[in-house]
Structure 1
Amino acid sequence: MHCINLVKDQCTNGASSFAVSEWIPRKSTSRQTKVNLKAMEKEDTYTKDGTVDYHRNPANKTETGTWKACPYILGTECCERLAYYGMSTNLVLYFKHRLGQHNTTAANNVSNWGGTCYITPLIGAFLADAYLGRYWTIACFSSIYVTGMTLLTLSASVSGLKPTCYAKDKCHATDAQSAVCFTALYLIALGTGGIKPCVSSYGADQFDDADESEKKSKSSFFNWFYFSINVGALIAGSFLVWIQDNVSWGLGFGIPAVAMAIALLSFFSGTRLYRNQEPGGSPLTRICQVVVASFRNYQVKVPEDKSLLYETADADSNIKGSRKLDHTNDLRFFDKAAVETRSDDTEGTNDPWKLCTVTQVEELKAIIRLLPIWATGIIISTVYNQMGTLFVLQGAAMDTRVGSSNFKIPPASLSIFDTLSVIFWVPVYDRIIVPVTRKVTGHKNGLTQLQRMGIGLFISILAMVAAATLEIVRLKIVRRHNYYGLEEVPISIFWQVPQYFIIGCAEVFTFIGQLEFFYEQAPDAMRSLSSALSLTTNALGNYLSSLLVTIVTHISTRNGKLGWIPDNLNYGHLDYFFWLLAVLSVLNLGAFLLVAKWYTYKRPVGTLR
């Protein structure tokens, strides 16, 4: 009778025994399944890229990160860029008209300050990756930034601190007043050092690499990040420049100061929603350890079976905040740093200057592989920087009137069309180009980061061709009508719009591609440093542009010639310089294609490819 409760129609002893034996394991399996399901649910609840919340607990995917955290970061970037460009765009005129500096002195001071703004990110990036983390680096350096902006505003508006003016645009500044102004500016330069390399990386940290849907959104984030930069630049280049020229410098600097305070407030407002990567210790120390260990083991033979190379046994790497990296076959010399020797076994403890993990070796390899790609970004930065130099000179030699009115547009203001181009192309790329190319290529982002950058490099060539062609047309008009003595040749400055618009398009492809590429391909614990490295191409682009102008001027002015870029461009050949940049851009594109072909992508263990 007992067997009736077990299995119907099986009432023999043997059947009863069979029924019980079958029934018990099924019950056990059901319990195990529930346990496994709970474990899987718990695992899916948290990110797998090592990020933590503001309490330093594993980041809950439903409560932190993704697009719900990004508005605060994008708002911070938009306000910070508004503050930066609102203060820097017209700075050369402030030096000239308020501090009483000569043109060359004012230009050099702006160049030196601007170069510093792109060098200090190396400091901020190092601190973020090694000790502070991106959140606290942004918070601390933003506070310095606000202090500098406030001091700059006071130096332009408070009696005793501001220069004494005795006529319009004729002022005198004491040494003390100039010192206050430059102290404020270099505080701002220091502040940018902690923001520029960290904000884009911090925004990307909000998306889990191990989650396919979040990984797709990460690529879209970089598009909208660059969009927010240009929204801030658009407001600064139009509204704030007018305030400074027509109302007052105090108000013109005060509004950017308020914008920077709003940026800091916006950033802190999202604290509870952020995902944070833990700092992994000094990346420079780890790099040096691999180099030293490789040379110390230069006689050691690397085993054919790469699984024999040294790595930590547990799931996590020994680098805090970093996932393990798979071994790659290039740059094999550095694999020697991960070969265990008899002395390592005898001593029992591993000397990090003699034995490194595979992940540590791959960190160094990843940075080395980035360098050729990084180098190809210098030429396009040189092209980009023509908007603030030779494009302005070219525009100043054209008719700057708007229509038939007497209103004249400042030649530098045409850079607004570059900004408008970016604002136009970002949504087009994100909403149209990506979905269309995704269907063709099958890649989750439509185009790979390297393909995107390559297209941008090609488009930048067209910008130089457009600028050179326009200059040829302008010079033909000069020669045909003997306009050599005219300051403004009767050809509308708005013919420059295409070259500005094309550069804006190139930015959307190359510069945004660079942001994403240097973030994705950098080791987890070196992402801020990698972003800072990409920013240095802008500084080097400035330096290369100056060097090219110096070389060209030296060569083209031999034997008493006026050269390519004389004071009166009607006697020069500015088009030759643009053609030179076009040729260099073609060669640079060729080098990029070769480098990109042989590039080996970073391979985190257990993440999506």
Structure 2
Amino acid sequence: MEAADEERPLIHHLPPQDDEASKYTSDGTVDINNQPAPKQTTGNWRACFTILGSEFTECMAFFAIGKNLVRFLTSELHETNVDAAKNVSTWIGSCFLTPVIGAFLADTYWGRYKTIVIFLLVYTIGMLILTVSASLPLIMVVPSNSGIRRVAVYLGLYLVALGTGGVKPCASALGADQFDATDPVERATKGSFFNWYYFSVNIGSLLSGTVLVWVQEDIGWGVGFAVPMVLMVCGLVVFVAGRKVYRYKKLGGSPLTSVAQVVVAAVRNYHLVLPGDASGIEYARQFRFFDKAAIVAPSTGEKCTAARTSPWRLCTPSQVEELKMLLRMLPVWASMVLFFAATAQMSSTLIEQGGVMDNRVGPFTVPPAALATFDVLSVMICIPIYDAVLVPLARRATGKDRGLSQLQRLGVGLALSAVGMAYAALIEAQRLSLARAGAPAISIMWQAPAFAVLGAGEVFASIGILEFFYDESPDGMKSLGNAFAQLAIAAGSYLNSAVLGAVAATTARGGEPGWIPEALNEGHLDYFFWMMAALCLMNLAQFAHCSMKYRGKTIC
């Protein structure tokens, strides 16, 4: 937890402010000169517009790559369907793994503003390398699948993955810093910022899935990557130009260090005997081993006393409880991993499925990656419906302010992931039946409901897990909690890559084409979708079991 947050007083304890004091924020934020931040000239929406602009351009670049990457790898680098799907999932997983690095550097060393600037520069270099690599066959006599081009492509991709790790965990947090938490008016306005933040993410995704995907397919990959690269440079310039109006949080200790100290201290004190537990509370008795980190070991001598008071030998009870809070959330986090493995199909196997369907819609030719637009539209439609219709109805039924509890919201999202996978399996079975009978290919628009259902699942689960980790994480670990939520997306993508590899290895033995061969009409992609649907149902059952036992900070 940052030092400024630790010292923040409760609003009703604040003394009456005179005119001079009211000119500055009261939450410990400072301006660019490290002086108390003036309310009239820093922060609020005047600062957020540039932050939202940089996030919008970053999302345009990220989705311009991710939505159509499987097509780029198969058509330009001539990778197999399985290899391309695995590599896409691995890359997306890396994009949501690196935020842990960005959050740590921001909280411990650089601060959020500097972290965003540095990582945006890395991001831009990655986009430049990717753009050049996509254009190599045009500007040089280089075979499309040459080793040089392959190295350049993956170097650019993973520099982008590293760059996004500094933006994703810091942009929303820096935007929230622009509102004084001790000012009731600004605190209420902060909620609007998060709405517009998520809206800018989805607008970037929508434009990437329509305009930029069309540019990539019909004009060229080099141009399709160059456009978001130029936009990112513009976003970086605008973001830096707003540095004088930003409010900055003072750096505090790293929450990762606090967690590590508890683990190390508990291991060092493993031989100590725990005192009797008189609380009688089940969750207080969980993970009792880590309570040893807060036991004062008997010692004599000045040197022993100094060692005993070391934070790596003796921790506070609050530190121990913070670690336990994180451990209690692990079963919920694990349930989300399979959910994100299912949604990862929207950038891998569903794109490959769309590639063998009839993509003519009236006078237009629809790129397979453009179907992901229905995922974005579903999210943008379902969010206001959720807030304006579902929450009031659920509130009347449950009597809870939120309508659905956080865990109930997550459960609905997990159920929708199973529905989406089952629908994709049915469509693939029908497509295979017609293809093997020599009938015309079915329309790609039959995929739209699968994307829409998975998008609705994201409204419940993807947003819900961010809210869950923010509310349930210890006060000093809110940023780390956000990074853990992003880590679930990474783990889901890695899991999808591993499952695809296992399916390819086990179903293509003895000369068989397997479930996901190069020619999908010879395989059984529908079996893969049915398997994912079954795993999603099992995951839902596991989640229901662990959610009934969950006891956290808030009533979930």
Q: Which moved more, 1:119-128 or 1:521-530?
A: 521-530
Q: For residue 331 of structure 2, what is the aligned residue in structure 1? A: 372
**Structural mapping, 1:55-454, within 5 Å:** 55-56=33-34, 69-91=47-69, 94=72, 101-103=78-80, 110=88, 113-153=91-131, 163-164=138-139, 171=143, 182-206=154-178, 221-271=193-243, 274-298=246-270, 299-302=272-275, 330-343=286-299, 347=305, 350-403=309-362, 405=363, 407-438=364-395, 441=398, 443-454=400-411
Task: Say whether residues 1:596 and 2:547 are aligned partners.
Answer: yes
Q: Which moved more, 1:416-425 or 1:288-297?
A: 288-297
Selected match of 1:507 from 431, 436, 458: 458
Distance (Å, rounded) in 2 between the aligned partners of 1:57 and 1:303? 50
Answer whether contact 2:117 2:236 (CA < 8 A) is retained.
Answer: yes
- Deviations 1:494-538, CA, capped at 9 Å, x for gaps: 122111111111111111112222233333444443333322333
Distance (Å, rounded) in 1 between the aligned partners of 2:406 and 2:196? 16
Distance (Å, rounded) in 2 between the aligned partners of 1:228 and 1:423? 11
Answer whether contact 2:351 2:368 (CA < 8 A) is retained.
Answer: yes
Answer whether contact 1:122 1:532 (CA < 8 A) is retained.
Answer: yes
Task: Say whether residues 1:540 and 2:497 are aligned partners.
Answer: no
- Deviations 1:329-381, CA, capped at 9 Å, x for gaps: 64333233223355499737821122112332233223222322211111111
Distance (Å, rounded) in 2 between the aligned partners of 1:509 and 1:414? 21
Q: CA separation of 1:531/1:39 partners in 2, compared to 1, >3 Å: closer, same or farther?
A: closer
Distance (Å, rounded) in 2 between the aligned partners of 1:139 and 1:468? 44
Q: Secondary structure at the match of 1:125?
A: helix
Pair member with larger Rg: 1
Q: CA separation of 1:56/1:374 partners in 2, compared to 1, >3 Å: closer, same or farther?
A: farther
Q: Secondary structure at the match of 2:228?
A: helix
Task: Say whether residues 1:484 and 2:436 are aligned partners.
Answer: yes
Q: For residue 449 of structure 2, what is the aligned residue in structure 1? A: 498
Task: Report the CA distance between 1:282 and its aligned residue.
Answer: 3.8
Answer whether contact 2:86 2:500 (CA < 8 A) is retained.
Answer: no
Q: CA separation of 1:544/1:185 partners in 2, compared to 1, >3 Å: closer, same or farther?
A: closer
Q: Which has the higher contact order (CA 8 A, sep 6+)?
A: 2
Distance (Å, rounded) in 2 between the aligned partners of 1:430 and 1:344? 61
Task: Say whether residues 1:464 and 2:464 are aligned partners.
Answer: no
Task: Report the CA distance between 1:89 and its aligned residue.
Answer: 3.6
Q: Secondary structure at the match of 2:223?
A: helix
Q: CA separation of 1:243/1:69 partners in 2, compared to 1, >3 Å: closer, same or farther?
A: same
Q: Secondary structure at the match of 1:398?
A: coil
Task: Report the CA distance between 1:391 and its aligned residue.
Answer: 1.9
Answer whether contact 1:399 1:491 (CA < 8 A) is retained.
Answer: yes
Distance (Å, rounded) in 1 between the aligned partners of 2:199 and 2:300? 52
Answer whether contact 1:129 1:527 (CA < 8 A) is retained.
Answer: no
Q: Secondary structure at the match of 1:301?
A: coil
Q: Which moved more, 1:237-246 or 1:563-572?
A: 563-572
TM-score w.r.t. the length of structure 2 is 0.81
Q: Secondary structure at the match of 1:399?
A: coil
Distance (Å, rounded) in 1 between the aligned partners of 2:420 and 2:501? 22
> Partner amino acid for 1:187?
L
Task: Report the CA distance between 1:140 and its aligned residue.
Answer: 1.6
Distance (Å, rounded) in 2 between the aligned partners of 1:120 and 1:101? 28
CA RMSD after TM alignment:
4.0
Q: For residue 26 of structure 1, what is the aligned residue in structure 2? A: none
Name structure 2 gaps, 5 residues minimum: 1-11
Distance (Å, rounded) in 2 between the aligned partners of 1:139 and 1:344? 51
Q: CA separation of 1:376/1:231 partners in 2, compared to 1, >3 Å: closer, same or farther?
A: same
Q: Secondary structure at the match of 1:415?
A: helix
Q: Which moved more, 1:48-57 or 1:143-152?
A: 48-57
Distance (Å, rounded) in 1 between the aligned partners of 2:134 and 2:431? 41
Q: CA separation of 1:359/1:135 partners in 2, compared to 1, >3 Å: closer, same or farther?
A: farther
Distance (Å, rounded) in 2 between the aligned partners of 1:257 and 1:215? 35
Distance (Å, rounded) in 1 between the aligned partners of 2:69 and 2:548? 43
Answer whether contact 2:213 2:369 (CA < 8 A) is retained.
Answer: no
**Structural mapping, 1:513-528, within 5 Å:** 513-528=464-479
Distance (Å, rounded) in 1 between the aligned partners of 2:230 and 2:241? 16
Matched positions, count: 535
Answer whether contact 1:366 1:522 (CA < 8 A) is retained.
Answer: yes
> Partner amino acid for 2:214?
W
Q: CA separation of 1:220/1:507 partners in 2, compared to 1, >3 Å: closer, same or farther?
A: farther
Distance (Å, rounded) in 1 between the aligned partners of 2:225 and 2:381? 28
Distance (Å, rounded) in 2 between the aligned partners of 1:68 and 1:432? 32
Q: CA separation of 1:92/1:551 partners in 2, compared to 1, >3 Å: closer, same or farther?
A: closer
Answer whether contact 2:337 2:488 (CA < 8 A) is retained.
Answer: yes
Q: Which moved more, 1:226-235 or 1:261-270?
A: 261-270
Q: Which moved more, 1:351-360 or 1:219-228?
A: 219-228
Task: Report the CA distance between 1:328 and its aligned residue.
Answer: 5.8
Task: Report the CA distance between 1:108 and its aligned residue.
Answer: 6.3
Task: Report the CA distance between 1:216 and its aligned residue.
Answer: 6.6
Q: Which moved more, 1:350-359 or 1:44-53?
A: 44-53
Distance (Å, rounded) in 2 between the aligned partners of 1:535 and 1:139? 20
Q: Which moved more, 1:113-122 or 1:353-362?
A: 113-122
Task: Report the CA distance between 1:149 and its aligned residue.
Answer: 2.7
- Deviations 1:153-193, CA, capped at 9 Å, x for gaps: 45556xxx775467xxx955876666555544433222112
Q: Secondary structure at the match of 2:101?
A: helix
Distance (Å, rounded) in 1 between the aligned partners of 2:205 and 2:166? 19
% same residue: 45
Answer whether contact 2:514 2:523 (CA < 8 A) is retained.
Answer: yes
Q: Secondary structure at the match of 1:593?
A: helix
Q: CA separation of 1:489/1:368 partners in 2, compared to 1, >3 Å: closer, same or farther?
A: farther
> Partner amino acid for 1:136?
K
Selected match of 2:500 from 549, 557, 561: 549
Q: For residue 4 of structure 2, what is the aligned residue in structure 1? A: none
